[in-house]
Amino acid sequence: MVSATPEILPLVGSLSTKTFTLLSVAAAVIIFFAVTLLARAKSNSRGHSVLLVGPPDAGKTAIFSSLVYHQALPSHSSLQINCAHVVLPPSKTLRIVDVPGHPRIRDQFREHLRIAKAIVFVVDASTVSRNAPAVAEHLHHVLHAIASLPPSQPTPKVLVLAHKADLVKAGASSSSVTEVAISRVRTVLERELEKRRASQTGGVGVESMDAESESELGGLECGGTARGGFKFSEWDGGEVDFIGTWVEVGEKNGDQDGLRELKDWLEQLIR
C-alpha cells in the first residue's frame, strides 16, 4: 500500500520528460504546416487568373487556344470550362479560364470570380447590333457579380474585347478597323445597358421565392447619374477598357498579330 503512490509518480515523471517533449515538437510541426498551408491558400486566392466570358459564338475558345497553343484551332460551342496556363514573354505565367457562353451554363464563372485578377468580356463586333439585348443581359450579369463582391477582395479589372474586328466593315471613315469596332461595341452596349438600368430603377420588382435573397440585378450604378445615360467611363465598379482584336482560325503556326493588343494588356496586368 505504501508502494502504490510512489509507483504513480515515476510514470508521470517519465511522461513529463520524454513524451511531453515529443508531443510539443509534433504540435509545433503541425502548427507550422497549418500556417504555411493557410499562407499559400491566401496567396493563391489573389491569384493570376483571367476569365474569358461573353455571349455564345463570340470567339472565346478561339482566343483561348490561340494564347495557349499559339494557333487558333477550329471550335464549336463549348460545353465546359477550359483552363490552362499561359507563359507571357517576360517569363510570367497567367492562368486563363474560358467559360462557356450558353445562357444555361454561363453562371459557372461566379465560382472563379473570387480568384480572378481580370475579366475579359468578348463580344462579336460584327453582329453586336443584331443581338444587342442578349449581349447586354450577359454583360449586366457579369457587372452585377463584380459589383456584389465583398469589399475585402480586390476588384478585378474589366476589359471589353471587340472581337472579330476584321469582319467589321469600316465604311467611309478613315479610322482603323479596330477603332470602328470598339466604338460600335461601346455605343451599342451603353445604349442597351441604359435601357436595362432604366427599367429597373423606379419599378417594383417581383420578390423571389425565399424572401431573403435579392432578386433585382443592380450593378449598373454610375457616378453623376444626373447627366443621364449609362457610360462605361462613369461606372462605379471600376475601370473598363476597350480593345479590338481578331483571330484567324486555321493552320497557321506562329504569333497572331490580331491579338497583339490583348497580349500587351495582359502583360501590363501582371506587371
Partner 1 sequence: MLDHCSISHRGGVVLWSRSFTPEASHVASSATSPVNSLIREALIEGRTAEQKYEKDGYAVKWTFFNDLELIFVVAYQRILQLAYVDDLLTAMKALFIKLFEPFLTTFVASLHAMNTGNSTPSSKNGDTSWNFAKAFDGWDGVFDKLLKTFEDKAAQERKSRFRPQARAIQVESESPSEDDSTVPTESPDVTQDEQQIARNVQALKNRLRGRGGRHGGRVAPRADSGASGPNSESESGKRKTKSKTQRKWGDEVPTESDMATLDFSLDKPDAGMDGRLASDLRSLVDSASLGTRTKDGLYEVKDWDFGNNGDASVIAKALTREASQRSTSSLGALGSLFARLTGSKVLTEQDLKPVLEGMKQHLMKKNVAKEIADKVCESVGEGLVGKKVGGFQTTSNTVRSALSASLTSILTPKTSTDLLLSIRTKLSSPSQRRVPYSITFVGVNGVGKSTNLSKVCFWLIQNNLRVLIAACDTFRSGAVEQLRVHVRNLSMLGVDGATDSKGRVELFEKGYGKDAAAIAKEAIAHAKENGFDVVLIDTAGRMQDNEPLMRALAKLVTVNSPDKILFVGEALVGNEAVDQLTKFDRALRDFSSASSGKSRGIDGMLVTKWDTVDDKVGAALSMTYVTGQPIIFVGCGQTYTDLRQLRVDSVVQAILSD
Judged by the rule CB under 8 A, the positions of this chain that interact with partner 1 are 44, 47, 56-57, 61, 65, 68-71, 73-87, 93, 95, 98, 100, 102-105, 107, 115, 133-134, 137, 195-196, 198-200, 203-204, 206-210, 213, 215, 251, 253
In the complex, what is the shortest distance from the CB of residue 178 to partner 1, in angstroms, rounded to a whole number?
A: 22
In the complex, what is the shortest distance from the CB of residue 113 to partner 1, in angstroms, rounded to a whole number?
A: 14
In the complex, what is the shortest distance from the CB of residue 86 to partner 1, in angstroms, rounded to a whole number?
A: 8
Report strand pairing: 92-98 vs 82-88: antiparallel
Find, among 178, 101, 166, the residue nearest to 139 by Cα.
101
Sign of CA dihedral 113, 159, 261, 90: negative
- Provide the 3-class DSSP secondary structure of residue 131: coil
Which residue, 219 or 242, is less far from partner 1 as judged by CB? 219
Which residue type sits at 271?
A: R
Which residue, 131 or 179, is less far from partner 1 as judged by CB? 131
Which residue, 18 or 191, is less far from partner 1 as judged by CB? 191
Cα 45 from chain centre = 13
Place of cell 462579336: 124
Burial of 170: CB neighbours in 10 Å, binned 0-12, 13-18, 19+: middle
Which residue, 132 or 242, is less far from partner 1 as judged by CB? 132
In the complex, what is the shortest distance from the CB of residue 104 to partner 1, in angstroms, rounded to a whole number?
A: 4
